[in-house]
Amino acid sequence: KSKEERLLDKAADRVIREKEREEEKEAEEFAEIIQKCKNLSFPKRGEIIEVKVVQTTKEGVLLDIGAKSEGFMPWEEFNGKKEEALPLGKTLKVYVLPKSQGNHILLSKKEADFRLEWTKFEEAFKYSKPIVVRVEKMVKGGFLTRLDLLDTFLPASHVSLTRRENLKKFIGEKISVRVIELNKKSRNIVLSRKILLLEKKEVFKELFFSHEVHPAGNKNT
C-alpha cells in the first residue's frame, strides 16, 4: 500500500474506534439510567416501607416515599397528637394505604405498627414460643395485657394454677404467656400463663422421677 493509503486506513481505524467508544459510553449511560429507574420503584399498596419526614403541616406529615414522590399521613396516626418533636429527616415505618389524598399517597403508622407487632404473635403462636406481656388492668373475665401496642386478653382462668391466688397482684407486672388464640380478622389475641406453668410442672415431675432432681434439692417455687 502507498503511504497515502496507509494514512487513510489509520484514520478510518481511529474513526471506528472512537465510534465504538461512544457506543460503549452510550450503552453504559443507558444501563445507569435503567438502574436508577429500578431504584426509584414506586411503593406498592399494602407494603410496609421506611420513609423520611420532609415537612409537617397543621393536618399532618409529608413523607419522602422515594421515586421523587411524597406521601401524607394525618396526625390521627399519632393518636391525634401533633408531634412537635418530630424532626425533619426522622425515619418511620408506614403502611401504604390503597387510596390517596390529592397528589399524595396516604400512609398509616398505626397499620404498620399493628402488622409488625402482629407477626411477633403469629411466630409465638406458630412455634409455641413464650412471649412477655405487661398486665395493664382487670377487665370482665380477666386482664387486658399488652406487648408494645396491641391489646391482648388474658382470661382469669388462665392466670394461675389455683383460684386462691390474688390475681390483682399481677397488674403492672410483666409475665410470660403462651398465645392460645389468634384471629387477625377480629384482631383478637388470647393468652395463657397457666399453660406455661403446667408445662414447667410437668418438666419438673419428669426430672424428679428420673432422679435428676431430689426432694432435698431445688424446690418448685
Residue 173, domain CATH: 2.40.50.140
Query: Residue 174's pLDDT is what?
Result: 95
- Give the H/E segment covering residue 129: none
Q: 92, 50 in Cβ contact below 8 A?
A: yes
Distance in angstroms (rounded) separating the CA atoms of residues 150 and 11? 76
Residues 193 and 134 in one domain: yes
Domain assignment present for 17? yes
The three-point CA angle 62-66-68 to 5° equals: 85
**CB neighbour class for 49 (10 Å; exposed up to 12, middle 13-18, buried from 19):** middle
Residue 169 lies in a domain: yes
Do residues 150 and 184 share a domain?
A: yes
* CB neighbour list of residue 23: distance below 8 Å, 6 or more residues apart: none
CB-CB contact of 106 with 87 (8 Å): no
Q: Which domain range does residue 69 map to?
A: 48-112
pTM for the model stands at 0.64
DSSP state at residue 216: T
pLDDT of residue 38: 58
According to the model, what pLDDT value does residue 221 have?
A: 44
Cα separation, 210 vs 204, in Å, equals: 10
In this prediction, residue 212 carries a pLDDT of: 54
**Same domain, yes or no: 160 and 186:** yes
The pLDDT of residue 163 is: 76
Residue 186 belongs to some domain of the structure: yes
Asked whether residue 39 is domain-assigned, the answer is no
- Where the chain has pLDDT below 50, the residues are 220-221
Contact 213, 207 (CB under 8 A): yes
Both 69 and 5 in a single domain? no
Domain count, the chain: 3
pLDDT for 37 equals: 54
Determine, yes or no, domain membership for 19. yes
CA 214 to chain CA mean position, Å: 46
Task: Confirm whether 38 is domain-assigned.
Answer: no
Q: Is residue 12 part of a domain?
A: yes
User: Is residue 211, in this structure, part of any structural domain at all?
Assistant: no
